[in-house]
Amino acid sequence: MSARERARSFCTRFGMTVPVLEAPMAGACPPGLAAAVAAAGGMGAAGVVNDAPAAIADWARRYREAAGDAPFQLNVWIPDPPAEPGTDAQSAFLDRLGGAAGPVPGPAPDFDEQVRAVIDARPTAISTIMGLLPAGHVEAAHAAGIAWFATATTLDEALAAERAGADVVVAQGMEAGGHRGSTRPGDAEGTAVGLFALLPWLAGALSVPVVAAGAVADGRSVAAALTLGASAVQVGTALLRTPEAGIDAGWAAGLDGLAPEDTVTTRAYTGRLARAVPTGYVRAWAGTDAPAPAPYPHQRRLVARYRAGEPGLLDRVNHWAGQAAARATTRPAAEVVAGMWREADALLP
């Protein structure tokens, strides 16, 4: 099957006209951005890892008000194995950065309740990161006509997802902004595989479609990904400076002109490895006098507590950035997506 045929088949199956999916970036996927991506023929998205069921239902309602019956995905995190909380060293370090702790955050949303809320919202797809969707949830999603898109950073993860019933595998290269989707928390630093090495490796071994994610920011990278075996691409950082994203001004400024080699991976925001802008806060945690961040979710809760108090050097939001950050523009999101596909279309045979 040719690259064009793969893309056309994927689009037909999932109600798209352009093989571009919005990356489900928690905290940076307002319904307006997702609707703009859908208006260009792609698939909108939201990351709901931090959302209670009512918030999930509200996002889906607002999206449909703006986009009608256009396709969208909702993304959940597979919970990490229980981990010991950090020591007082992490709090002491945040104090040294000029912070002061606020109230203790409330409990995180229950995973099973989140999944039930996602299924009730009837998206085109439920997508996952950090592991496999439990069998009962896979069955419930499929019974409701909802596809499962599973993120993988290695061939072993991809094959496990296919065996577990995934309809699509999202191949996430190490270039991608935000969290690395490694199944085992401690493996993330050791599985730093670039997208264009990972993609043909997965595409040649899987029977389900593969979506390419990581530093896809223009038509050249879309065409390259499709040529290497992808059926579609997933775009995140390239949309963050669009007006519909509405992210924090400091975060948006940090993306402007950010060279690929200047992005960094860090556990400083959540305890899970992720690619980000090298802010003063992130650099401080890489210093020789800094403790190791607490494991997820303890570091995330600690960061939330300091943000609720006096954050000091702590960034008010997580400044995620993929290696294609410098190619993000301030044009409207629909123009960005449509332009990507026009350029890719001209390059594909």
| Tally of CA atoms within 13 A in the half-sphere of 198 that contains its CB | 27
Residue 185's pLDDT is 84
- Show me where the domains of the chain are located: 3-82+107-252+329-347
Residue 266's pLDDT is 98
Cα separation values, 260 from 82, 95, 214, 273, 286, Å: 34, 31, 12, 17, 18
Q: Are 241 and 249 in contact (CB under 8 A)?
A: no
Residue 191's pLDDT is 87
pLDDT digits over 158-213, tens only? 999 999 999 999 999 999 999 999 999 888 998 899 999 999 999 999 999 999 99
- Tell me if residue 100 falls in helix, strand or coil: strand
The DSSP line for 241-286 is TSTTT---HHHHHHHTT--GGG-EEESTTTSS-EEE---HHHHHHT
**Pairing state of beta strands 44-47 and 72-77?**
parallel
Which residues contact residue 97 at a Cβ distance below 8 angstroms, ignoring those fewer than 6 apart?
Answer: 281, 284, 312, 313, 314
Token duo for residue 112: 């099973």
Report the alpha-carbon distance of residue 57 to residue 102 in Å, rounded. Answer: 29
Work out the pLDDT band at 35, boundaries 50, 70, 90: very high
Indicate the average pLDDT of the chain. 97
Residue 11 pLDDT > 90 = yes
Which residues contact residue 218 at a Cβ distance below 8 angstroms, ignoring those fewer than 6 apart?
Answer: 238, 324, 327, 339, 340, 343
Which residues contact residue 219 at a Cβ distance below 8 angstroms, ignoring those fewer than 6 apart?
Answer: 339, 340, 341, 342, 343, 344, 345, 346, 347
Which one-letter DSSP state was computed for residue 81? P
The DSSP line for 294-343 is PPTTHHHHHHHHHHHSB-TTS-SS--B--TTGGG--SS-HHHHHHHHHHH
pLDDT digits over 87-123, tens only? 899 999 999 999 999 999 999 999 999 999 999 999 9
The DSSP line for 15-51 is T-SSSEEE---TTS--HHHHHHHHHTTSBEEEE-TT-
Lowest pLDDT segment from 86-90, 215-219, 325-329: 86-90
* pLDDT cut 70: percent of the chain above it: 100
Three-state SS string over 124-161 comes to CEEEEECCCCCHHHHHHHHHCCCEEEEEECCHHHHHHH
Average of per-residue pLDDT across 212-236: 98
Average of per-residue pLDDT across 44-55: 97
pTM: predicted TM-score of the whole model, two decimal places: 0.97
Q: Are 133 and 150 in contact (CB under 8 A)?
A: yes
Domain 3-82+107-252+329-347 has CATH 3.20.20.70: yes
pLDDT digits over 244-301, tens only? 999 999 999 999 999 999 999 999 999 999 999 999 999 999 999 999 999 999 999 9
Work out the pLDDT band at 83, boundaries 50, 70, 90: confident
Report the alpha-carbon distance of residue 139 to residue 43 in Å, rounded. Answer: 23
Beta-carbon count within 10 A of 123 CB: 26
Work out the pLDDT band at 13, boundaries 50, 70, 90: very high
Beta-carbon count within 10 A of 112 CB: 12
